[in-house]
Amino acid sequence: MASSSRSLSLADTRGKTNAGIYIHIPFCKQLCNYCDFYFSVSLQRKTQMIDTLLHEMDIRRNYLSPFFLSAASHTLYFGGGTPSVLTAKELELLVDKSKEIAGVNSFDELSLEANPDDLTPAYLAQLAALGINRLSIGVQSFYNTHLQWMRRRHTAQQAIDCIKNAQREGFNNITIDLMYGLPILTLEEWRNVIEQAIALDVPHISAYHLSIEPATLLGKQQKKGTIAIQNEQAGLEQFHLLRELLTKAGYKHYEVSNFARQGWSALHNSAYWRQQPYLGIGPSAHSFDGQSRQWNIANNIRYIRALEKGDTFFEREILTAKMRYNEYLLTTLRTAVGADMETIASSFGEDKKEYCLQQAQKFIQAGQLQLSGSNLKIPPEYFFISDRIIEALFVE
């Protein structure tokens, strides 16, 4: 049976360190029309990719080794792509190697992103046996018309069934992804989607407003003028309905796109928002050590060949004080905990603190930012416009 693995809230984990490993599985069986993540729909190099991922983990085992030893918690996250295209045996190889380089016997949170149609009862049992204790299921909608429009490969009934099967297998820590802002989504349909999610009794829900990126299928259709785009007012109404229904059902809106019942916030992702270091493995994966950020080649063949030859397979940048200040605001103000002015003063200087407070004044007066002592935060009801608020506080 899968363990429950309850997670601490962002407030509970402030000041505590998490050592996180992210493994990017760059394969999908089908291209969704909105997806901007790197992956390939060809699985021909899957075995070769597993070997290369293991090789990268071997040569980068010292990237965060002191941090792994001192961390209060350890997490492993399989993202993609679609990690559930891997067999249990393939996942086991990666889990075992991750334990080895992290120096742990198990992970406090071991997450796997999965498509509903991959989560058969037999596969779920295998995942539980591997120690995977958190499932991130890409539901997106409980309407087949929406799923077909998004080019998802599962049905609404498969989504419902896989969640119930996972719960029967003992997976208590389940998060599901939902998407709003679709031009074909009505407010009543969105209400039904949210109510169905609540009825399934999952402890965590991630809800994302549709964003159309130029390189996606939707981006190309938008350029051609062949699709209609939902207006911002409709998206705002859907956002407020989402907050109303989920908060009434006992979920806390703890990050721009994330809602959790008490004790079930995402430990791995919360560490990102607290700017904790992490190791990223695989094509397009990012890593962060506190002072620099690096990202791997976003191409399966080039990534494999570079590691085979011992060539450089990533780009790296040293973060300037200005970049670190901007990133601190970008990550912390996405959360209900918010930013700490004294941290800004001690880390970036009193001038940055004064600049931030000066830029924040008009938003504080409008109620879109709240300042209490040294704590500055965006009230969750204004998370929908968080990007424009945060950008106004940046140093150019």
347, 349, 350, 354: CA torsion to nearest 10: -90
pLDDT for the residue 13: 45
In a domain, 313, yes or no: no
Question: Is residue 245 located within the same domain as residue 350?
Answer: no
Question: Is residue 247 located within the same domain as residue 145?
Answer: yes
Question: Is residue 217 located within the same domain as residue 333?
Answer: no
Question: Is residue 250 located within the same domain as residue 335?
Answer: no
Residues in the chain: 396
In a domain, 279, yes or no: no
Question: Is residue 338 located within the same domain as residue 259?
Answer: no
Beta strands in 241-303 (DSSP E): 252-255, 258-260, 278-281, 286-288, 292-296
In a domain, 266, yes or no: yes
Q: How far apart are CA 43 and CA 1, in angstroms?
A: 30
Question: What does the DSSP 8-state code read for residue 139?
Answer: E
Q: How far apart are CA 204 and CA 133, in angstroms?
A: 14
Domain boundary among 273, 304, 337: 273
Q: What sign does the CA torsion over 260, 81, 179, 163 have?
A: negative
Q: What sign does the CA torsion over 345, 351, 353, 354 have?
A: positive
Question: Is residue 183 located within the same domain as residue 261?
Answer: yes
pLDDT for the residue 12: 47
131: left (phi over 0), alpha (psi -120 to 50) or beta: left
Q: How far apart are CA 114 and CA 171, in angstroms?
A: 13
Q: How far apart are CA 201 and CA 42, in angstroms?
A: 35
Q: What are phi and psi of 329, to 5 degrees?
A: -65, -45
* Residue among 20, 22, 21, 40 at smallest CA distance from 30: 40
pLDDT for the residue 4: 47
> Domain residues for 55?
10-273
pLDDT for the residue 9: 47
pLDDT for the residue 131: 97
Helices vs strands, H then E, count in the chain:
16, 15
pLDDT for the residue 274: 93
Question: Is residue 74 located within the same domain as residue 159?
Answer: yes
In a domain, 283, yes or no: no
Question: Is residue 256 located within the same domain as residue 335?
Answer: no
Q: How far apart are CA 312 and CA 371, in angstroms?
A: 45
pTM across the whole model? 0.93
CATH number, position 187: 3.20.20.70
With beta carbons less than 8 A apart as the criterion, state whether 327 and 339 touch.
Answer: no
Q: What are the per-10-residue average pLDDT scores of the chain (396 residues)?
A: 49 69 92 69 91 98 92 96 96 98 96 97 98 98 95 95 98 98 96 98 97 75 77 93 98 98 97 95 96 96 97 97 96 97 96 98 98 98 97 96
Domain boundary among 242, 273, 304: 273
pLDDT for the residue 300: 95
Domain count, the chain: 2
Query: Residue 387 corresponds to which tokens in the numbers above?
Result: 């990007």
Question: Is residue 326 located within the same domain as residue 257?
Answer: no
In a domain, 288, yes or no: no
